[in-house]
Amino acid sequence: MSIPGEVGAKVLEAMFSQSPVGLHVFGPDLRVLRVNSGAVGMRGVPPSAVVGRPLAEVYAPFDADEVEPVVRRVLATGEPVFDLRVRGCPPVDPDREHVFSASMFRLEDDEGMPIGVVAAAVDITHREQARERLSVMHEAGRRIGRSLDPLRCAHSLVEVSVPVLADVAAVALTDAVLYREESAALPEGHHPPLRWAAAWPSGAGEAPVVGEAADQAAFDDVVRRLEPRIERSQNTDDLVTPLACRGVPLGAALFRRDRRDPFEDEDVRLAMNLASHTALCIDNARRYEQAHAVALALQGHLLRPSLTRQGAVDVSHRYRPTGRGAGAWFDVLPLSGARIAMVVGQVDGHGPKAAAAMVQLRSAVHALSALDLEPHDVVARLNDTVRRLDEERPSAAPSEPLTAGCVYAIHDPVKSECSIARAGRQLLLVGCPDGTWNDVPLPETPELGEDGPPFAADEFSLPVGSMLVLSSGHVPDVGLLRRLREGTAPGSTEVVADMLPGDQAAVLVARTRALDPADVAFWDIPAELSSVSEARRHATGRLGQWQLDDAALATELIVSELVTNAIRHGRPPVRLRLVRNTVHNTLTCEVLDAGPAAPHLRHARAGDEGGRGLFICGELADSWGVRWSDQGKTVWTEAALGT
């Protein structure tokens, strides 16, 4: 259906006299043939000042050098162009940049020959500004707060603010923020001093100098009232917004614009949103720093393992309290019979909660090691402790249960054997004296607090000079294993500790030693009470060889009581063993039998004829205990030798 000529003429007339869309008609020589009222309104000049003049001259304020090639291409090819963004300051508003969306198409005669180009332009300045402000907020949400450094938060704020919100941006922070001090609301009339912490563009002549004190008078009103303020000068507009969180002033942000482009209400709202978001991120960073410092102080104070000289192993360690490793710990614990327990653990998480959980688990390990349990029993009971602690945490979220990893190993220098248990993915390496390394002595298992037990456990020979590496970090990479194989054939514990990655908070490296066979004596005792005197003679004879005659009387009484109990209440075979530890200067007396019953300390009444055996042993020795194995139980006492 064709449009009557009269209607077409009316439509054309309406478009040139009433349409808000600016229309520009160019001839083949790119001179203006006609403009409509919308175009006149955008430019603020009469049609007579435009018609007949070349495009490059008339539209110089609107990126004419970029627009003209586009118009020529449309005229030559006939391919229209849509939504070409054109920026400039029109004569009707010379102090403010506007953004126009232009679309262009070619005019043709009846034979299809080009006779001109029509350009339709719409002022989209407000829409474009809204889009740019939205993009600034999006970028601010993406960048501000990613670092837990208040200075980095301030830098991110000024970087995202330029050039959309301001030509120059700067942030001044209080000393409490800059120097990680605790800040609070100040008394009336007292305002915190401010120091410039960030400025962008960096080094701009009109930007404040980072590190210098800010003009206190310029910010007092903003900090006091916690409201923004605009200060106008001959050349610039300064928008100052407070940085405050929970009513506590943390600083102020300065946004500076060329005077020709003054701040609008939307700009003020954007600046306040940016300042509010930044203040919250800075406050979170400060709170994290404070919590981090508390965690490190707590852990550094409580985690002070005594790494005295050991007869069973040569030990090196490295401990770096970091936010990532706030729950890491390690210990070297002496056990009966010159054995040594080594443990490294890591509570998942960071901050005071992880440090507190670490202290609780470390205390549990100390208590469990005193019971002389096997490593797999220690880890299983530690798992119960983790679950109980998780249930007791009042603020624990179901999605964030308390979990931890732990490796617990016991080395026996008499037998040159190691028993070990593992929960989690803590790094565990075993190096042989010939320089070979086993990076999977035990498989990975769930962590403490997850599924389990049973956890991975094993017992194997560990010859003299073997290396045992325990770390709170995860499994090693191929490069580390290669360096270990190439660099530690005889090696040292210090060398291995230095090779491990620096981000592993707790590292324990032990090279095994063996007790001198001359310091160990053992005898099989017939399961008859008449053999008790023979056991005493064995013990006193060996003490004489060791020149420990001063300990003979106490040792004779202890041997008599322990052997008698084993024969009466235990099962054969019965074995007596004496271990002299020249490193710790102690003497251990052990009696093994196959009976399952555990002796216990009794406090006999005045009229009782028996029941004082273990009590006497406990008085004569410094410590005593019982440990179980597949062969039965071993009752032991340990006493310090005189110098």
pLDDT for 616 equals: 76
- Final residue in a domain of this structure, among 81, 103, 123: 123
Domain that holds residue 171: 128-294
pLDDT score recorded for residue 421: 93
pLDDT at residue 12, as a whole number = 62
3 state SS of 125: helix
Q: Determine the angle formed by the axes of helices 375-392 and 352-370, rounding to 10 degrees.
A: 140
In a domain, 216, yes or no: yes
pLDDT recorded at residue 231: 85
DSSP per residue, 45-80:
S-GGGTTTSBHHHHTGGGTHHHHHHHHHHHHHH---
pLDDT averaged over consecutive 10-residue blocks of the chain (643 residues)? 56 63 85 77 67 80 80 89 84 77 87 87 83 86 83 90 88 80 51 81 69 73 82 84 86 83 87 91 80 62 55 78 65 88 86 78 90 91 90 63 90 91 87 82 87 84 88 65 60 65 71 89 91 92 92 90 89 92 88 82 49 72 85 89 73
Residues 25 and 52 in one domain: yes
Q: What is the pLDDT of residue 1?
A: 46
Q: How far apart are CA 503 and CA 521, in angstroms?
A: 45
Based on the domain organization, do 138 and 271 belong to the same domain?
A: yes
Both 64 and 197 in one domain: the answer is no
Convert 24-43 to b/e letters by CB count within 10 Å (16 or more is b): bbbbeebbbbbbbbbbbebb
CATH code: domain of residue 470: 3.60.40.10
Q: What is the pLDDT of residue 407?
A: 93
Domain boundary among 452, 481, 512: 512
For residue 67, how many other CB atoms are within 10 A of its CB? 19
Helix (H, G, I), strand (E, B) or coil at 597: coil
Q: According to the model, what pLDDT value does residue 187 have? A: 46
**Does residue 47 lie in a domain region?**
yes
User: Is 3 inside a domain boundary?
Assistant: no
Has residue 9 been placed in a domain? no
Q: Is residue 582 part of a domain?
A: yes
Task: Give the per-residue pLDDT at 590.
Answer: 93
Tell me: do 269 and 414 sit in the same domain.
Answer: no
Instruction: Note whether 564 and 583 are same-domain residues.
Output: yes
Q: How many domains does the chain have?
A: 4
Domain identity same for 627 and 528: yes
Residue 8 is assigned to a structural domain of this protein: no
- Amino acid, res. 469: V
Res 605: pLDDT: 47
